[in-house]
Amino acid sequence: PEPAKSAAAASTPADTGERIVHADAEPGNWLSYGRDYQEQRNSPLTQINTGNVSQLGLAWSYDLDTHRGQEATPLVVDGVMYTTSAWSKVQAFDAVSGKLLWQFDPKVPGATAAKACCDVVNRGVAYWDGKVFVGTLDGRLIGIDAETGQQLWSVVTVDQSKDYTITGAPRVIKGRVIIGNGGAEFGVRGYITAYDADTGKLAWRFYTVPGKPGEKDGAASDDILAKVTDTWNGEWWKNGGGGGTVWDSMSYDPELDLLYIGVGNGSYWRRTLRSPGGGDNLFVASIVAIKPETGEYVWHYQETPGDEWDYTATNHMVLADLTIDGQPRKVLMQAPKNGFFYVLDRTNGKLISAKPYVTVNWASGIDLKTGKPNFNPDADYAKTGKTWLAMPGALGAHDWMPMAYNPGTGYVYIPMFELGFPYLTDRNFEPKKKGVNLGVDLSALNLPDDPKVKAAVKKTVKGYLIAWDPKTQKEVWRAPNPVAWNGGVLSTSGGLVFQGDGGGHFNAYDAKTGKKLWSYDVQTGVVAPPIAWSKDGKEYITLVAGWGGAFPLLTGELSWGENGPIPNRSRVLTFALGAKGSLPPPPEAVKRVLQSPKQFADAQTIATGQKAYDRTCIVCHGAGAISGGIAPDLRYSAAIGNKEFWDQVVVNGVFASQGMVSFKENFTPQEIEAIRAYVIDRAHVATQAE
Ligand code: PQQ
β-sheet bridge partners, residue 253: 258
Q: Are residues 201 and 130 part of one domain?
A: yes
Q: Are residues 636 and 560 part of one domain?
A: no
Q: Are residues 647 and 559 part of one domain?
A: no
Average pLDDT, stretch 285-304?
98
CATH number at residue 646: 1.10.760.10
Percent of the chain scoring above 70 in pLDDT = 98
Asked whether the predicted pLDDT for residue 604 surpasses 90, the reply is yes
Sign, Cα dihedral of 267, 381, 228, 195? positive
Q: Are 495 and 50 in contact (CB under 8 A)?
A: yes
Q: Are residues 350 and 232 part of one domain?
A: yes
Q: Is residue 521 part of a domain?
A: yes
pLDDT tens-digit map of 81-100? 999 999 999 999 999 999 99
CATH number at residue 531: 2.140.10.10
- What pTM does this model have? 0.97
pLDDT at 11: 46
Ligand 1 near 163 CB (within 6 A): no
My answer on whether omega of the bond before 283 falls inside 30° of 0, hence cis, is yes
Identify the residue whose C-alpha is closest to ligand 1 atom 10.
Answer: 395
Ligand 1 near 240 CB (within 6 A): no
How many independent structural domains does the chain possess?
2
Question: Which residue segment(s) compose the domain that 673 sits in?
Answer: 603-689
What order do you get walking across the sheet with 404-406 strand by strand?
A: 404-406, 411-418, 462-469, 474-481
Q: Are residues 218 and 97 part of one domain?
A: yes
* pLDDT classification of 7: cutoffs 50, 70, 90: very low
Euclidean distance between the first and final Cα of the chain, in Å? 58
Q: Are 596 and 683 in contact (CB under 8 A)?
A: yes
Q: Distance between CA atoms of 506 and 498, rounded to whole angstroms?
A: 7
Angle formed by the axes of helices 669-689 and 603-612, nearest 10°: 100
Asked whether the predicted pLDDT for residue 586 surpasses 80, the reply is yes
Identify the residue whose C-alpha is closest to ligand 1 atom 6.
Answer: 550
Percent of the chain scoring above 90 in pLDDT = 96
My answer on whether omega of the bond before 392 falls inside 30° of 0, hence cis, is yes
CA of 121 to the centre of ligand 1 (A): 10
Ligand 1 near 549 CB (within 6 A): yes
pLDDT at 472: 97
Ligand 1 near 245 CB (within 6 A): yes
- Nearest residue to 170 via CA among 149, 155, 185: 155
Q: Is residue 455 part of a domain?
A: no
Q: Is residue 645 part of a domain?
A: yes
Q: Are residues 572 and 518 part of one domain?
A: yes
Q: What is the ipTM of this complex?
A: 0.99
Q: Are residues 645 and 551 part of one domain?
A: no
Q: Are residues 607 and 572 part of one domain?
A: no
Asked whether the predicted pLDDT for residue 436 surpasses 70, the reply is yes
Q: Are residues 543 and 613 part of one domain?
A: no
Q: Are residues 473 and 368 part of one domain?
A: yes
Element (H, E) at 132: strand 131-135
pLDDT at 226: 97
Q: Would you please indicate which residues are annotated as catalytic (active-site) residues?
A: 310
CA of 677 to the centre of ligand 1 (A): 31
CA of 624 to the centre of ligand 1 (A): 21
Q: Are residues 622 and 570 part of one domain?
A: no
DSSP line for 14-33:
HHHHHHHHTGGG-TT-B-ST
Q: Are residues 618 and 568 part of one domain?
A: no
